[in-house]
Amino acid sequence: MNRSKKIFVTAVVVLAILLLLATPAMAEKSLVCGGVEECRINIMYGIPTEYPAGEPFFIMHGNGNTPSIDLPVAAGHMGFALQVDGVYVEPDWVSRSASSAREGEGNAVFSIMAFNFPQGLPAGVHTFTGHWYVGCAPQWEGCEGYKPMAPYDYFVNTITVTFE
């Protein structure tokens, strides 16, 4: 078997193993309420402002980027962070992906974070703050003094939701 065939066979075997290992993890990537929009709190759009106390909901945000040649950005260098009542919350799952270049366009990378609240929140007013971030680059305005690729909030939005 020549060298290129060995590399091809090895790549196919590695890909098959990765798919087998990734399948159980992908099955866990679900949203409460089946992901219907009525169960979503959307921080970017600030809706809804009222939600039933103790009812399940989810928050899902992220971003995508078309990196330039002089400014490569990987999906792991961007994303979304969530604070609920001033406390950072870890996502239930993260999806990172990339698409290959199309005619006249560059490659695109995506990063989506999902947060499930299957028990909902108790009655009262709760504050949600979303931080959309990218890896800082020295030539970006506002990134002066940051280490290269350190998380940099390029957009932050806070909403309050009354749970009744």
Is the whole-model pTM more than 0.85? no
Architecture of the domain spanning 31-163: Sandwich (2.60)
In the structure, what pLDDT confidence band is assigned to residue 9 with cuts at 50, 70 and 90?
A: very low
Domain residue ranges in the chain: 31-163
Query: Beta partners for 153?
Result: 133
Strands (E), the chain: 50-51, 57-65, 78-84, 87-89, 93-99, 108-117, 124-135, 151-163
Q: pLDDT of 36-50, one tens digit each? A: 999 999 999 999 999
In the structure, what pLDDT confidence band is assigned to residue 11 with cuts at 50, 70 and 90?
A: very low
Q: pLDDT of 49-80, one tens digit each? A: 999 999 999 999 988 776 655 555 554 567 89
Q: Which residue has the tokens 């870890």?
A: 90
pLDDT at 102: 59
Contacts of 92 (CB under 8 A, 6+ apart): 114, 115, 116
